[in-house]
Structure 1
Amino acid sequence: MPIDAAKALAAGPRHGEIHWDHKDVQLYHLGLGAGAPATDPRELRYTLESRLHVLPSFATVAGAGMAMLGGLSAPGIEVDLASVLHGGHALTLHRPIPVTGRATTTSTVAAVHDKGKAAVIVLRSEATDAEGPLWTSDAQIYVRGEGGFGGERGPSVRSEPPARAPDLTEERPVREEQALLYRLSGDWNPLHADPEFARTAGFDRPILHGLCSYGMTLKAVADTVLGGDLSRIRAYRTRFAGVVFPGETLRIRMWREPGRVLAEVSAVERDDAPVLADTVVEHA
């Protein structure tokens, strides 16, 4: 069924309640590969409840990610999951995320772009708790075969790195079972677990969640450039430029600029095939 862009954009906001505690945060961090080495004090801030801090990208899975996923069932949108890919993600942090929390989410379809052979749906989720706004999250959902409806193409946001060698390069392994662990945080798309489903979507085996690569990259930037101080992160955006298969290694190149870090991510084992592009972490 074609996307009805006008109906989707005119639909009222959807409200929900989400909550989380330290176990949800720890599970998310473990799904990103945190905890290696297990006794490293720098890793314990992600895994030990008495020292726990929240990586801001946890916002993408808080409440099992229902605020974002609910947007795919908004009026005017009916899509086949086998045709859906996460095209990009942008996150704005209004203050640090607490280890235990309860929030109200407001979800809207912020835009529907016509890319010709595909549509891009921008799903916006805003979370607010008793103390005020927590985060604003924009998911750019790429739906193959749903373009050509005569809509606007939308903006093209590019953040090319400087024409010089990166200031830092990190390599982060993706474990064979990492997608199976990450999906326990709420993204149950069988594309990341079921080989038969993956083949129907055009892949020879399940792929890693784009948001897992997204979280792994933010952790690498936080651990290196920001010295592990997660409270300094203000915003984070990326474009998903290619897939990652469990068992591969992410190569994360970083360039420091005033108030921000630019990054590019590639898959080492496939001759640095692109994974994340136009990646920017804004910080205090």
Structure 2
Amino acid sequence: MPIDAAKAVAAEPRSAEISWDHKDIQLYHLGLGAGVPATDPDELRYTLESRLHVLPSFATVAGAGQGVIGGIGGPGLDINLASVLHGGQRIEIHRPIPVTGQAVSTSKIAAVYDKGKAAILVLRTEAADDEGPLWTSDAQIFVRGAGGFGGDRGPSVRTELPSRGPDRTVEKAIREDQALLYRLSGDFNPLHADPEFAKTAGFDRPILHGLCSYGMALKAVVDTVLGGDVTRVRAYTTRFAGVVHPGETLRIRMWTGSPESGRVQVAVTAVERDDAPVLTDTTVVHT
């Protein structure tokens, strides 16, 4: 049996010490396309160590992204990597992430949902340093062909977008080599680099990491709605609705609501494919 849900959820949490410094932060930001134009003061806060701010989505790769890949190999889980896709992601930021840090990262399977032809694993990772909690990350891992074991189907949460047009729209080009650069932050799944492996997974060519699109969208919200202030982000949730290929363009639409709402709703699509959905049910909670 590929998935033993009860055994996976009951497994002891796994902890690891992680650390990062300005080079890890800069590499992550560059993997999201930061630094264009290279001398723009608004971009230098992502690329120059003397001005560096940490985009909160760095939490998904801190410690070389050990949580997601390591988590799907735990007790009760016998999974072929070619059947795995990242289905959704949520982070909650408890304090601004420091440019240089050390923390203990603790991961466990918080839930396993049976979607019939597929299973969804909820991998929860919590990081804390000597001063207390830093972030909580929930990754929803979609495993094709692993459902049908009679488990709970889990929640179905959809976020309706406003009927009016977006308040802000940003388009971001994805470089041909962007997945190759982004994977250096820790996600070495060959799906994002090896054409032959991509074909075995059902794709005609390598696809961009969902978490790269995720980070690009958050950067757009921070830069255009939050005045470049990364410390205003409290939580960020998305569902990965479709693939993106290097060389395409993301259209990021934002609805800001009232000033006191503290929420930005986001929809991300692929421009060259008639606005095919990329990220849906996406919300940034902020101060």
Q: TM-score, normalised by structure 1?
A: 0.99
Give the corresponding residue for 2:279: 276
What is residue 21 of structure 1 aligned with on the other side?
21
Q: Distance in 1 between matches of 2:132 and 2:74?
A: 26
Distance 1:21 1:11 in 2: 31
Q: Which residue of 1 aligns with 2:52?
A: 52
In 2, the alpha carbon distance for the partners of 1:106 and 1:140 equals 16
Q: Give the deviation of 1:93 after TM superposition.
A: 0.2
**AA of the residue aligned to 1:237:** T
Q: Do structure 1's residue 259 and structure 2's residue 253 form an aligned pair?
A: no
Alignment partners' CA distance in 2, 1:68 and 1:107: 9
CA distance in 1, matches of 2:193, 2:265: 31
Query: What does 1:187-202 correspond to in 2, within 5 Å?
Result: 187-202=187-202
Residues 169-184 of structure 1 correspond to what in structure 2 (within 5 A)? Answer: 169-184=169-184
1:1-284 to 2 correspondences below 5 Å: 1-257=1-257, 258-284=261-287
Q: Report Cα offsets for 1:158-208 as digits up to 9, x if no partner.
A: 112111100011000100000000000000000000000000011000000
The answer as to whether partners of 1:89 and 1:137 remain within 8 angstroms in 2 is yes
Task: Give the root-mean-square deviation of aligned CA atoms.
Answer: 0.6
Give the conservation status (yes or no) of the 8 Å contact 1:240–1:275.
Answer: yes
| Number of aligned residue pairs | 284
Equivalent pair of 1:117/1:147 in contact (CA under 8 Å)? yes
The 2-side partners of 1:157 and 1:133 are apart by 27
Alpha-carbon distance between aligned partners in 1 of 2:245 and 2:252, rounded to the nearest angstrom: 16
Q: Is the 8 A contact 1:16 1:67 kept in 2?
A: no
Which range moves more in the overlay, 23-32 or 253-262? 253-262
TM-score (norm 2): 0.98
CA distance in 2, matches of 1:9, 1:35: 41
Whether the aligned pair in 2 keeps the contact of 1:222 and 1:228 (CA below 8 Å) is yes
Instruction: Report how far residue 47 of structure 1 moved.
Output: 0.1
Separation of aligned partners in 2, 1:184 and 1:152: 36
Task: Say if 1:71 and 1:109, in contact at 8 Å, map to a contact too.
Answer: yes
Aligned partner letter, 2:101:
G
Does the CA contact (< 8 Å) of 1:68 and 1:124 recur in 2?
no
Please say if residues 107 and 126 of structure 1, whose CA atoms lie closer than 8 Å, have aligned partners that are also in contact: yes
- The secondary structure found in structure 1 opposite 2:247 is coil
- Give the Cα–Cα distance (whole angstroms) in 1 for the partners of residues 197 and 234 of structure 2: 37
Secondary structure of the residue aligned to 1:63 is coil
| Aligned-residue identity in percent | 76
Residue 268 of structure 1 and its aligned partner are, at CA, apart by 0.2
Q: Secondary structure of the residue that 1:64 maps to in structure 2?
A: coil
Amino acid in the other structure paired with 1:181: L
What secondary structure sits across from 2:143 in the alignment?
Answer: strand
Distance 1:166 1:84 in 2: 33
Unaligned stretches of 5+ residues in structure 2: none
